[in-house]
Amino acid sequence: MQIQPASLAFTLLLGILAAVPYSGIDINVPALAATGATFGKSASDASLTMSAFMVSLAAAPLLYGPVSDRLGRKPVVVFGILLFVVASLACAAAQSLSVLLICRFVQGAGAASTAITFAIIRDLFGGPAARAKIANVVIAINVVTVIAPTAGAALLTLGSWRLIYAVQAGIGAILLLAVLVGFAESARLDPAGRLSPAVLASYLRVLTHPVSFAYILVGAAGGATVFAYVTGSSLFFIDVAGLQPRQYGLIFSACSAAVTGGAFLDGRLGHRGISPAQVVTVGLALPAVAACTLLAMTLTGWTPPALVAALLIVVAFAFGMTMPNVMNATMQPLPEIAGAVGAAAGSIQLTAGATSSALVAALFDGRSALSMSAVMAACSLLALTGYWLLARPAERRIPFAANLETPT
């Protein structure tokens, strides 16, 4: 029996699908040391499994997106989840770190298929309805982000790191069944174009569309701000401020909860008729102010951990408010290639995030929050500037109000 798109069950399915890549990262974090010990390697060597997963997670959607525009969303998601299940089982059975790295790369390629969740939303919803659905998906992702590390630690105490991968395979199998039984094809396919994916042509359209590409850049800069604090916060709170990992975990959970709160508030504001432009303006200004305040504090040598945590929570809350609107605006102008748009947006955002994380780690001085605050300030100001100088002017030149209606 197919699940109706307007139902809560459908929203939950979309949210869980979108959270698969994040769970594949966070649930394995507690097991890095144990994984390395099994193969006689260090935890830092085992952390390469994260890199392998994220590389394929960033690259694979670039193929999935255009293919889903021609062949449909359902076949791509089914293939990807099946690949995820098989690779998860292979990870659980791996007998060397090199084999595990290969399996993690394949696992990430499978998980990446769920990146077309936003394209599915664009297929079925428009305007405020799409904005609300995206907000709900963001909430689901962040709930998983909060739960996954604790779940990983619990599984590690019950068994070994191999049990974590086995559980991922089981979850993937349940999702595969749910998609096969409950999900109907959402894309409006053109039979004449099914055998000619024209991948490069699709991406050329995305990268040359003034509205979509402007919002991709805004989203990438906003995402890079968040990646900077994710990397830098652990370095500051544990290595500089001397907090225990458990205490830092509470701060990180509070930030994840703040993203969820921001997405929830955005959904409420949408129902009250508050325009996306107003929400995005506030949502981009808040992190810029918070990050610049943190940078000023760092330069003066005054960084009380409680205040630093409060500023990071503000940044996380604003990201939750902004992201649904930015993604919705990115997808709206090119509904016929929504898969390619979503793939390009996700890949560019992951690349920007990885770059900002690397900068924070490379510039960390071991005694302050300077690298984190500087990168956060730069990225947040880029996001705000990009919105006002690129995205908003492009929207005024190329209105796409006709695309804001619910698809039929």
Residue of 73, 75, 66, 344 whose CA lies nearest to 198: 66
Q: What pLDDT band is residue 1 in, cutting at 50, 70 and 90?
A: low
Using one digit for the tens of pLDDT, what is the confidence trace for 352-368? 988 898 899 889 998 99
Q: 114-128, 199-213, 272-286, 302-316 — which is least confidently predicted?
A: 114-128
Task: Supply the pLDDT for residue 100.
Answer: 95
Same fold, 8-187 and 203-398: yes
Whole-number Å distance between alpha carbons of 151 and 129: 32
Using one digit for the tens of pLDDT, what is the confidence trace for 166-199? 999 999 999 999 999 888 888 776 655 544 446 7
- Residues 43 and 31: beta-carbon distance below 8 Å: no
How would you classify residue 399: left for phi > 0, otherwise alpha for psi between -120 and 50, otherwise beta? beta
Q: Which two tokens stand for residue 324?
A: 């649904």
- What mean pLDDT is predicted for residues 326-355? 87
Share of the chain above pLDDT 90, in %: 42
Does CATH place domain 203-398 in 1.20.1250.20?
yes
| pTM (whole model) above 0.95 | no
- What mean pLDDT is predicted for residues 67-79? 89
- What mean pLDDT is predicted for residues 108-116? 90
Task: Supply the pLDDT for residue 404.
Answer: 40
Alpha-carbon separation of residue 3 from 111, 179, 327, 377 (angstroms): 22, 9, 24, 43
Using one digit for the tens of pLDDT, what is the confidence trace for 114-152? 888 888 888 888 777 888 888 888 888 878 877 887 788
Domain positions in the chain are: 8-187, 203-398
Whole-number Å distance between alpha carbons of 6 and 24: 28
The residue count for the chain? 408
Choose which CATH entry (3.40.50.10490, 3.40.50.620, 3.40.640.10, 1.20.1250.20) describes domain 8-187: 1.20.1250.20
